[in-house]
Structure 1
Amino acid sequence: MKKTLAIFIVAAFTAATALVSCQSPEKNVDNAEEKVTDAKEDLKDAKQNAADEAIKTASVEEWNMFKSEAELKIKNNKTRIEDLKTKMNKKGKSMDMEYENRIDSLEQKNMDLQTRMDNYEHSKTDWESFKTEFNHDMEGLGQALKDVTVNNKK
């Protein structure tokens, strides 16, 4: 009798636990949808916070120093381009069209850098990104000016 009673109590306890812990499928779906919505909101907030942290503007002193250095580099590039044009016209023999096109292309890139710097001064967008890209492009232009007279034809 004790064994039967013990089995009955365990069976009743197991059945009661199973009934209490089960939820309807609709309730499970509702809970899952709520969790997904909360997760999406958390992700959106995290992205916004990250974007706010990433977009930083330059301080006035930092911008003025960067601007003066960049203007000096642009001016030096302009002088080098003018020297290349003078050498091209001075030699007496006409330079090939490709050489002239490369010089014109470099002159346009130099003017584009000046324009980008002027545009940044008015928009004040993401400082770190602008500075990195601008310096990269400026270094590329400087290297191209050094390599303009190198003949890569074989």
Structure 2
Amino acid sequence: MKNEISIFTFALFLAGTLLISCQSSSEKVKSAQENVQDAKMEVIDAQQELNKALQDSIQQFKTETDLIISANEKTIAAFKLKIEKGNEATKANYEKAVAELEQTNSELKMKLGEYNEEGADKWQEFKSEFKSDMDKLGKALADFTEDNVK
């Protein structure tokens, strides 16, 4: 009899444990919905962080490039002063070359100012192209200094 009571008690305990630990299908659905909602919130947070990082990258690039463009403007102004003091024979050629450099610098400044955020891929493409244009202008300024105005 003790053995039967022990078996019955164990079976009752096991059944109670199973009933308590099992979730109903509605509870499982609710839990799954909460997990999906949490995942959606994490995706939104990650997207916001990515957008913030992109905006920071754009702002930093614009700040750095504005400094370079300002330095270019000062260099061009110095060229103009040197040309004014130069001889008349080469003055027209130098003025034309400086005007082209100044125009290119102004166009780059305007292009940078007009850039609208269009996503990370477009930003990388714009940034790469812009850096290439800036490098070409920098090389042209350096070449002008070395070859023409001494």
Structure 2 counterpart SS, 1:96 = helix
Report how many residues are paired. 94
Partner of 1:141: 137
After superposition, where does 1:17-96 map in structure 2 within 5 Å? 59-91=54-86, 93-94=87-88, 95-96=90-91
- Report the residue type matching 2:81 in the other structure: T
CA RMSD of aligned residues (A): 2.0
Give the gaps of 5 or more residues in structure 1.
1-55
Instruction: Write the distance in 2 (CA, Å) between the matches of 1:124 and 1:117.
Output: 14
Tell which has more relative contact order, 1 or 2 (C-alpha 8 A, sep 6+): 1
Partner of 2:118: 124
Instruction: Write the distance in 2 (CA, Å) between the matches of 1:137 and 1:76.
Output: 16
Structure 2 counterpart SS, 1:124 = coil
- Report the residue type matching 1:68 in the other structure: T
Report runs of 4+ in structure 1 exceeding 4 Å deviation: none
TM-score normalised to the size of structure 1? 0.56
Contact 2:117 2:123 in 1 (8 A): no
Partner of 1:45: none
Instruction: Write the distance in 1 (CA, Å) between the matches of 2:137 and 2:112.
Output: 15
TM-score normalised to the size of structure 2? 0.57
Q: 132-141 or 94-103: which moved more?
A: 94-103
